Every structure is written in structure tokens, then in C-alpha cells.
Structure 1
Amino acid sequence: MNTVTLGVAGRAEMSKRFAAAMRGQAQGQFISFATPELLFQTLTQLRWNILKVMTGAGALSIREVARRVERDVKRVHEDVSALLKAGVFERTAEGGVIFPYDAIHVDFTLQAQAA
């Protein structure tokens, strides 16, 4: 199964993963956001619904994505564009979009803030 981990990772964590990868240690697939706020701003409920129908579906046209989530094509196009810009989706040579993963793991830690 081709799984991607969506999570929050700062520069230090990303540098650590990069260094480990350069040493030949497999790191898996990650899509990282700098802050939890950025993750939630990017992955709204409507975009999460799009992500769910795209997982494991192969390349789809935006019109087909809109049909599957039962939403207006224009609004889905706006959401897909935002996900493309964030690096979550990829554009195909034929003009469609793809989320090349079969599963999603979401990983981040919320810590208590000092008073």
C-alpha cells in the first residue's frame, strides 16, 4: 500500500528527515505543513472530501471529482487549485489531477503551551 503522511514539521524536522534520507534511510512519503493552522487552512472539510475521493482513484478530471463530491465544478476547481499549489495533488499530462496514494496517515502533536 502506498501511504502518505500528512503532518506538521518545522525546518528542523524536515532537515533531520533529509539528512537521514541522504544516509540511505527510507523516510516514506510525507506532505508537511509548517504549522497546524496552515494544515487546517489548507485541508478544509470540503477539500478533505475531495482528498477522500481522490485517494486510490488514479487520475481524474476536475469535472469527475466534482461529480463524485456532488459539488459545483467551479468551486471544486478552486479547491483543487489550492491543493495543487500546496503540493498535495499533481497535475497529469492530460490535464487531470492525481493523488498518487492509496492511504493517508495524519500525524502531529498538540502540546500544552506555557502560561
Structure 2
Amino acid sequence: MDESGIIKREIRVTRGALEQAATEVASAWKAAEAGQDVEATDHLYFEDWSALCAVLTPKRFELLRHLRRAPAASIRALSRELGRDVKRVHEDVVALEEIGLVDRDQSGRLSMKFDEISSTIRFAA
């Protein structure tokens, strides 16, 4: 959440994404061990554009927008609301849960907490 109260997630598309993420984690770890305050970050890294597009498809984007407006009681309910096949919606929810864009509570209720998802695409290393 930023200072305006908006809950954000940043997607970074860059060569060496795994190394960059590991560097950020290592730096935060060292700072915490040294007793320094560590600012939380919420970045999601992809190695290239095609990797991002494979995960954030148009149907998944539609699913995220729908959940942001109206959380769903279950995958079955969400599939009815979207007019889509239950199996495909389940696959999409699982993929989006794995990267932290969809939340599922203990009762199976689905939601998307982010107000904004921004992306940075680096063309030069």
C-alpha cells in the first residue's frame, strides 16, 4: 500500500529477473540482520515479455478485474459469473494464486486485493 492508501503490485519484466529478485532479498536480509528497518516491497518478476503474457492472459486479466469488483464465493460461482468453463477458471485461479494476485480464504472465497498493478519492461540490460 502506498501513502495514498492504494494497494499496488509491481510487475518487472527484465533479463536477469531471478538474479535481481535474489539480490533484493539478500539486501533486505542483511539490513534486517543489522537491525535496520527494511521497507517491504511487492514485486513480481518475469524474465521476458512472453513469460508475462503466458501467465497474465486476457482471460486472466478479465478474471482479476471481476474479482476486484466482486469477490466470488467459489471457483464454480466465479465461472458462472464469467460465463466460462469451471475447469479453465480453476486453472486460471491456481496460476494467479501461485503468483500472489488472487487470494482464497479458508472457505474458498476468492478475491483480488490490488487496486493497481503496474509493470516495468526493461529493454536494455
TM-score range, shorter chain: 0.7 to 0.9
| Amino acid corresponding to residue 107 of structure 1 in structure 2 | S
Calculate percent identity across the aligned residue pairs. Answer: 27
* TM-score scaled by length of structure 1: 0.72
Go from structure 1 to structure 2 and tell me whether the alpha carbon gap of 1:17 and 1:24 turns closer, same or farther (over 3 Å shift). Answer: farther
The worse-fitting range, judged by mean Cα deviation, of 38-47 and 66-75 is 66-75
Q: Is 2:91 the counterpart of 1:78?
A: yes
Gaps of 5+ in 2: 1-5
Q: Is 2:106 the counterpart of 1:93?
A: yes
Gaps of 5+ in 1: none
Q: Is 2:121 the counterpart of 1:109?
A: yes
Matched with 2:3 is none
User: 1:47-62 to 2 correspondence within 5 Å?
Assistant: 47-55=60-68, 57-58=70-71, 60-62=73-75
Deviation of 1:49 (Å) = 0.5
Alignment RMSD? 2.7
**Alpha-carbon separation, structure 2, partners of 1:26 and 1:59:** 32
The structure whose Rg is larger is 2
User: 1:15-54 to 2 correspondence within 5 Å?
Assistant: 15-18=22-25, 19-20=27-28, 22=32, 23-54=36-67
SS in structure 1 of the partner of residue 95 of structure 2:
helix
Per-residue CA deviations over 1:3-29 (Å, capped at 9, x if unaligned) read 111232512321343214744242432
**Alpha-carbon separation, structure 2, partners of 1:65 and 1:74:** 11
| Amino acid corresponding to residue 94 of structure 1 in structure 2 | S
Go from structure 1 to structure 2 and tell me whether the alpha carbon gap of 1:59 and 1:65 turns closer, same or farther (over 3 Å shift). Answer: closer
SS in structure 2 of the partner of residue 67 of structure 1:
helix
Kept in 1: contact 2:18–2:45 (CA 8 A): no
Deviation of 1:110 (Å) = 4.3
Matched with 1:14 is 21
Kept in 2: contact 1:7–1:33 (CA 8 A): yes
